[in-house]
Structure 1
């Protein structure tokens, strides 16, 4: 049995944590860094029985220290920004995170992973092959794929070969590479409008009627074929669901939708829309799919406008899930 005399500060901390565990009130241990968590667990592993007198003394000392504290701060940028919440503008928050990453106080890869595809592609085309290989290894798969596919064929081959040498990189070296890439990204020109024009036009056409969308794309083909191709890649409509939504994400998508809206969306008579509807149904449970088919039959022939609006709502639900990080769209395939 340990008495008050032999208790060090870590052991006292372990006693407090042990007492809180009894009430399931230990919140925030995961905010400690891994070394601190490890030390705490090791200290607890080496302790057995603490007498009542020692326990009471540790509690008294702990409470006295709490009473002496006037105000506390998070002690790090992430905690500070979380505490300030929406009181800071998005621009200020972004600048603070960038300065922390550039100074080495935060992980530079967190910033790099949020760069727009255009910036990542520019880095991939201008930086050394070894740095690009490491960058592709750290980026989310979708961003890495888009960046890699945009490279000239010969450079893509060399980068692919360099990927085989990335497995042995150490964490400090990886952080240094991240800082180098982040500094290079900071020198890239920043457009006044962040979203590329083809992406903006594609997003607008997502919600246009099919005949208007086809008319606009036809006009763009005549005036600027490259821009038209970029707009087509940015468009995501109901018929694209089988090619760009993973089968495992279909049940999650369906849960986002009102059942009446879903049944109407599944009722389109066109061949492409019917294929998308069948893709959705085939990736649901047999019971749910049969129920939706029965409701579709009972619905009869809905108005084309209602079907169009329902399909638009399905597309909107996909986009909401994508923005929330609950769904990742596959990259569009080149046409022709």
Structure 2
């Protein structure tokens, strides 16, 4: 049959083919629910691909489903604590070779668009050619950049644009083909490359929070104040994500010691169950030998725990850090800032 797949290796398939096989594997009921969340254009493309797919054997279905699961799992860990955290957790569960294969695949998902070329351009140049574009176009372009580049670009935009652009990115979902075409026109003015239309969620409050962490404190505070005037709820959500549990490694020793005064040993033990070694070392090195041994024993005593319970404890500790900052007891500099954390 012409539509049969030649082998059982998902790596030989493109994204549309994998998506078609995934929908076939999910069955009609689940697939229909997925399609409801897509645009008409996406449905047409996938429907045509499904029609071309023909018979898919069980082995290939399972391989595509496994790849999809691994990718979503990796993306979840990356969103939670960054690439290093994802690598550490996945290596413990799946081994080094399989982990690297998964992460290489995840990292490669964003390649092949004009935005890749922007990574080689300095933030000021990007800001200069974007500043006269419509604010939504600016937001859509920046939403495709890594937060480490997005933050500095926002910082180079005119002050009156900064909070508006940050807000648009924070509330952004899937762009329409028309809007994607507008972005293509903007990029074609400055870089020579084909733009591959990718209809995925490009923005979000977490991405804005990560970008704000790349610029100095005074500037991100001004941007958030401007966002609060536009939408207080979105601004609050961005602020709540600007410090996460794994960012404890960014604090200096005196700051960590100040934080430890506010946290019960059991709460800390639960939070450290799924923490990186770097975070554990940061905490333990700021405790007395006796207290550190007690904490290690508490962690061992807890035994296996649900991830949701561990993440809840980590969130409460991150909330404590933000409270201490608001009280003026600690000051958290932006990751891109040149100053160190100051503890009064």
Q: TM-score range by the shorter chain?
A: 0.3 to 0.5
TM superposition score normalised by structure 2: 0.32
TM superposition score normalised by structure 1: 0.32
